[in-house]
Amino acid sequence: MESFVYKDPKAPIEDRVKDLLSRMTLKEKVAQMAQIDRHVASPYYLRDLAVGSVLSVGGSSPFENALSSDWADMVDAFQKIALQSRLGIPIIYGADAVHGNNNVYGATIFPHNVGLGASRDVDLTRRISVATALEVRASGIHYTFAPCVAICKDPRWGRCYESFSEDTSIVRKMTSSVIGLQGQPPEGHSHGYPFVGGRNKVIACAKHFVGDGGTDKGKNEGNTLLSYEDLERIHMAPYLDCIALGVSTVMASYSSWNGDRLHGHQYLLTEVLKNKLGFKGFVITDWEGLGRLGQPQGSNYRQCVSSAVNAGIDMVMVGRKYKEFLEDLLFLAESGEIPISRVNDAVERILRVKFVAGLFEHPFSDRSLLDLVGCKAHRELGREAVRKSLVLLKNGKDPSKPFLPLDKKAKKILVAGSHADDLGYQCGGWTITWLGLGGRITIGTTILEAVQKAVGEKTEVIYEKYPSAETLARQDFSFAIVAVGEEPYAESTGDNPDLLIPFNGTDLICSVADRIPTLAIMISGRPLVLEARLLEKIEAFVAAWLPGTEVEGITDVIFGDHDFEGRLPVTWFREEKQLPINHGDTSYDPLFPFGFGLTYKKENSRD
């Protein structure tokens, strides 16, 4: 009887990879290099062609408000079909779980990365990633497109909130998220080799390689104009840490470096990432990233496939061109335009990650994890993260007379603003849907609800989203809490050249502060324009970033149960014409400097 080494869990992984690769047809190899959307994951593609991976693009779920158990049912059904393929190779199912398992109704939604960068708490970031991995695996998903290790140099960038900081050293420390997602590699682990430490861990993805946060004028998918030395020092450095920690995959950036798109950049993807940095996992495209290659050059899609795969792309998130991709890649491999050695290298890397992740032994979801989804411990962790991420920028018109902490036993409080009672706005983009939504999109607590829970029984809380003149004329409010900020957005939809507070937020804050002592809370993925009149009128100002579902962390701090700990992870500019502005610039005149953050102890915190 023939021995199937690749089916032996005790055999060395490289022997399993080599054995399985030797049994595959070219058509099967090509299929392994495709990641298709769940909408087209039919038995033909899963069983007959044996595609390598399936994803939910931009929050695409089994159905509206699907729970983790529903997701697990869907993924397991796809996996069952995939295992019926000739060689029984399991699929990897991927999703953008970038601040918790954010696509899934009822999951814990943690602060976006910019908030974690404000916390400076490396262990907190790791623990959040541990919790995220558990909630992701409970839904049957094996792979998250996280962490984003971009260095955001310009808040006009629509992905600013996905970056931990403008400071490379902070982002490097926050690569502890790789350990949380995948597990801690053992001592002596081979450098660059992927590592996934068991069924409760997920395959991680360092993204977007490389320079995505440094594009000219902060344009998403734009052009990063830097020398190689600066690209390496500023933007590439976090990848060194991720690779040392065994990150399994790296995603190429939509953006360009000095005019050349990363998805077709052989020097950076192969010579640098794979050869110089020693990365042995697989390189994946971004969604429909190959199509971007043809835009400025006018190339046809087959030329784009050839350019990307020959440059070092291993797995392709194909999007709508899934049929064309499979046909073109097979043609290019058969014709020799893409050498069979390049195809084999790509497939070896994909299979290596599948074996490392234990998918051959444990291809299906672990239903015992379902009770952990949105559990009390995870929500308390989210609350802790919110507390630690808040940055206090002003506390009292007179520094000797601080306005915060607020009195829980105040007689009457006004709560107002576009973001005071909107769970979706708190969570931002990449929550339930790709762009995010306003309203009661999942399970969580709004700022209004958190205030109502925090105050004493005799305190009256009055809520008006946009207070009337009659309300503002009343003389019996002890203080007002006004929450304003951005609507949810993601990627290019978030590119913003002026960065004004939406919904006439400045006017709203000023109208309230003219009559009532006011705490303003900003819910945003980045610094926004703070006009002088706003800062003059308000008593206190808190940057809360995009805190997610557990905003009782805000009331924990503003009512004094905990002190402020957060420090600005990015520079807060005075006006748009200063941008880009980063600490270390020769001319540096910010409204609030990088690292600034007040505490009740009246100390300014600096990095």
Angle between helices 122-138 and 68-82 (to 10 degrees): 70
DSSP string, 251-279: EEPSSEETTEEGGG-HIIIIIIIIIIS--
Q: Is 366 annotated in the active site?
A: no
**Cα gap 277→269, rounded to integer Å:** 10
Phi, then psi, of 150 in degrees rounded to 5: -70, 150
Q: Is 491 annotated in the active site?
A: yes
E strand residue ranges, 17-157:
34-37, 53-56, 92-95, 143-144
**Which of 487, 491, 539, 556 is an active site residue?**
491
Q: Is 523 helix (H, G, I), strand (E, B) or coil?
A: strand
**Bond preceding residue 551 cis, omega within 30 of 0:** no
The answer to whether the beta carbons of residues 583 and 479 sit under 8 Å apart is no
The answer to whether the beta carbons of residues 167 and 152 sit under 8 Å apart is no
The answer to whether the beta carbons of residues 328 and 290 sit under 8 Å apart is no
**Which of 28, 135, 154, 286 is an active site residue?**
286
| CA torsion through residues 184, 187, 192, 194, sign | negative
The 3 state secondary structure assigned to 329-340 is: HHHHHHHCCCCH
- C-alpha distances (whole Å) from 20 to each of 16, 25, 97, 333 are 6, 10, 30, 19
The answer to whether the beta carbons of residues 71 and 61 sit under 8 Å apart is yes
489's tokens: 């957005």
Edge to edge, what strands does the sheet with 205-209 contain?
Answer: 205-209, 249-252, 282-284
**Residues classed as catalytic:** 286, 491
